[in-house]
Chain A
Amino acid sequence: MINYIKDLVSGIWALLQGMYITMLNFCRPKITEQYPENRGKKVMFERFRGELVMEHNENNEHKCSGCGICQMNCPNNTIKIITKQVTLEDGKTKKVLDQYLYDIGSCTFCSLCTQSCPQKAISWTTNFEHAVFTRSKLVKQLNKPGSKVAEKKAPAAAKAEGAN
């Protein structure tokens, strides 16, 4: 009999605790995103992998050397690097990047490309609005037209920057 009443009271107490928890949730601010209304105002968190981009500085220069490591690391052939040979002023020929093609339609956002890039030339932005009308538009060229490789800093300067 004592156990019966004990069970009853502890059971009711447990139920009331559960109801207290749900009431806390009821009063909490809601986390639903009102998407089309908050368009442009919504800031995604920094880690969010939205779209692969290649950074360009103010002189329209990027850091990609066209080595193709990202292309090799990509698990599903999302990245295609087309290079060309150019002749420098001193008569030497050099392999430079012609087109960096990125197909967002087959990208799994695994981030193996950005991790393996020796030049840190590519990175993620948080843009998440990828909808287009045809699949061909999903293939993007990441290097801007007319861009060229940034001049490498002197080894000493690069070292000093690395130390920082």
Chain B
Amino acid sequence: MLELIGIRDWIHNSLTELISEDCSWVVSLIEYVLIGVAFLAVYAVLALILIYVERKVCAFFQCRLGPNRVGPWGLMQSIADMFKILLKEIIRINNTDQFLFKVAPFIVLVGSFCTFGALHFAKGIHGVDFNVGIFYILAISSLGVVGILLAGWASNNKYTLIGAMRCGAQLVSYELSAGLSLLTMVMLAGSMQLSEIINVQEKSWLLFQAPIPALIAFVIYLIAGHAETNRGPFDLPEAESELTAGYHTEYSGIQFGFFYLAEYLNMFIIAAIAATVFLGGWQPLQINAEWAEDFNNVMNYIPTWLWFFGKTFALVFLSLWVRWTFPRLRIDQLLKLEWKILMPISLFNMLLMAVWIIWIK
């Protein structure tokens, strides 16, 4: 009843009824436009929600109340901030590479939006479903680093350049263990297609199908994914106290807003991928036992989009919790953590998963 798939089918059916069969391309065109608009809207609204959530959670960790003046409980705060940032002047900076300077925020945004488009939000609600879905996500989400490097280079400023270089080193390093831990789960699921991975988890989530290697992969993916969002203890590329604002020091107005938007959405995307691959995406929690049938039925009543967003926001909260707990790493500690700890463990974990699949499962 509450499933979004009903709305999808209703739109499709009414469009095909309305338009004659000869020009079915018109139906496709209208649907493409609708999907594009819907994705853009969800992208923007999620960013607003995430900014509000971040500010509230941060405040609570610091024993403050956070925004509470604009609207009830400060709910309108991020909307007011959005209008403020839209009205701000975009400052033109002398001695910068104007073309690259302007194109960099778009590349960052496009990278995160393309990843966003591949997510599965609910039963039957997704933009694209490639047979190499995980591979596509890993590839397109690393596009952002190009934009960040361009931003740092084009700004013609030592802070931005150092920030961008750190960001490049960090993202390229952590991409490895994030990719390896996702591949471990692909081994277990037996497919790279996201819809297939979700279907495999109908009876029990992948995290419970092979508890030990999956848990290790889950933790490693969360750490590496968190590092890829340039937040929390891994915020060296921005490092306010050393580099003013890192690679986006020279940006203002909506150009800065794009970096901001992409950062928050990347946090959501990392949580969403972790929820999809490890916690079953939009699949409800099921216990594989005789006595748990009533429990399973109750869980099935909860709409699938609620499952997806619930899991994702739980992981987003975990990410915020980590961010407001740990102090920033030094650059050598950052690289040591990746190359001496996470990388060997995820390689070993891949082996363990292979053993598990062959002998235990």
Q: Which residues of A contact B (CB under 8 A)?
A: 8, 15, 18-19, 21-23, 25-26, 28, 30-32, 34
16 contacts between A and B (CB under 8 A): A8-B341, A15-B326, A21-B325, A22-B324, A26-B60, A26-B61, A26-B321, A28-B63, A30-B59, A30-B60, A30-B65, A31-B63, A32-B64, A32-B65, A34-B65, A34-B68
A8 to B344, CA, bound (A): 12
Residue ID in chain B nearest A31 by CB atoms: B63
| Shortest Cβ distance from residue B208 to the other chain A in the assembled complex, whole angstroms | 21
A19 touches B65 (CB 8 A): no
Residues of B44-79 whose CB lies within 8 A of A: 57, 59-65, 68
For residue A18, which residues in chain B have a CB less than 8 angstroms away from its CB? 325-326
For residue A19, which residues in chain B have a CB less than 8 angstroms away from its CB? 321-322, 325
Residue ID in chain B nearest A11 by CB atoms: B341
Residue ID in chain B nearest A22 by CB atoms: B325
| Shortest Cβ distance from residue B323 to the other chain A in the assembled complex, whole angstroms | 10
Q: How many residues of B contact A (CB 8 A)?
A: 15
For residue A28, which residues in chain B have a CB less than 8 angstroms away from its CB? 63
User: Which of B57, B61, B324, B325 has most A Cβ within 10 Å?
Assistant: B325
For residue B60, which residues in chain A have a CB less than 8 angstroms away from its CB? 26, 30
| Shortest Cβ distance from residue B64 to the other chain A in the assembled complex, whole angstroms | 5
A22 to B63, CA, bound (A): 10
Partner of B61, one of A8, A22, A31, A32: A22
Question: Chain A: interface secondary structure?
Answer: helix
| Shortest Cβ distance from residue B277 to the other chain A in the assembled complex, whole angstroms | 22
For residue A15, which residues in chain B have a CB less than 8 angstroms away from its CB? 326
Q: Mark B307-326, 1 if CB is under 8 A from A, else 0.
A: 00000000000000110111
Cβ-closest 3 pairs across A and B: A22-B325, A32-B65, A18-B325
A32 to B65, CA, bound (A): 6
Residue ID in chain B nearest A28 by CB atoms: B63
Q: Mark B294-315, 1 if CB is under 8 A from A, else 0.
A: 0000000000000000000000
| Shortest Cβ distance from residue A31 to the other chain B in the assembled complex, whole angstroms | 5
| Shortest Cβ distance from residue A39 to the other chain B in the assembled complex, whole angstroms | 16
B64 touches A30 (CB 8 A): yes
Residue ID in chain B nearest A29 by CB atoms: B63
A8 to B322, CA, bound (A): 18
Instruction: Given contact pairs A23-B321, A28-B63, A34-B68, enumerate 10 new A-B contacts (beta carbons under 8 Å).
Output: A8-B341, A15-B326, A22-B61, A22-B324, A25-B61, A25-B63, A26-B57, A26-B61, A30-B65, A31-B64
A47 to B325, CA, bound (A): 34
For residue A30, which residues in chain B have a CB less than 8 angstroms away from its CB? 59-60, 63-65
Residue ID in chain B nearest A18 by CB atoms: B325
Residues of B181-237 whose CB lies within 8 A of A: none
| Shortest Cβ distance from residue B147 to the other chain A in the assembled complex, whole angstroms | 31
| Shortest Cβ distance from residue A36 to the other chain B in the assembled complex, whole angstroms | 10
Partner of B62, one of A8, A21, A25: A25
Residue ID in chain A nearest B219 by CB atoms: A12
For residue A34, which residues in chain B have a CB less than 8 angstroms away from its CB? 65, 68
| Shortest Cβ distance from residue B53 to the other chain A in the assembled complex, whole angstroms | 13
Q: Mark B245-286, 1 if CB is under 8 A from A, else 0.
A: 000000000000000000000000000000000000000000
| Shortest Cβ distance from residue B276 to the other chain A in the assembled complex, whole angstroms | 24
Residues of B320-338 whose CB lies within 8 A of A: 321-322, 324-326
User: Which of A8, A21, A25 has most B Cβ within 10 Å?
Assistant: A25
For residue B324, which residues in chain A have a CB less than 8 angstroms away from its CB? 22
Residue ID in chain A nearest B325 by CB atoms: A22
For residue B325, which residues in chain A have a CB less than 8 angstroms away from its CB? 18-19, 21-22
A15 to B326, CA, bound (A): 8
For residue B62, which residues in chain A have a CB less than 8 angstroms away from its CB? 25
A23 to B61, CA, bound (A): 7
For residue A23, which residues in chain B have a CB less than 8 angstroms away from its CB? 321
For residue B59, which residues in chain A have a CB less than 8 angstroms away from its CB? 30
| Shortest Cβ distance from residue A35 to the other chain B in the assembled complex, whole angstroms | 11
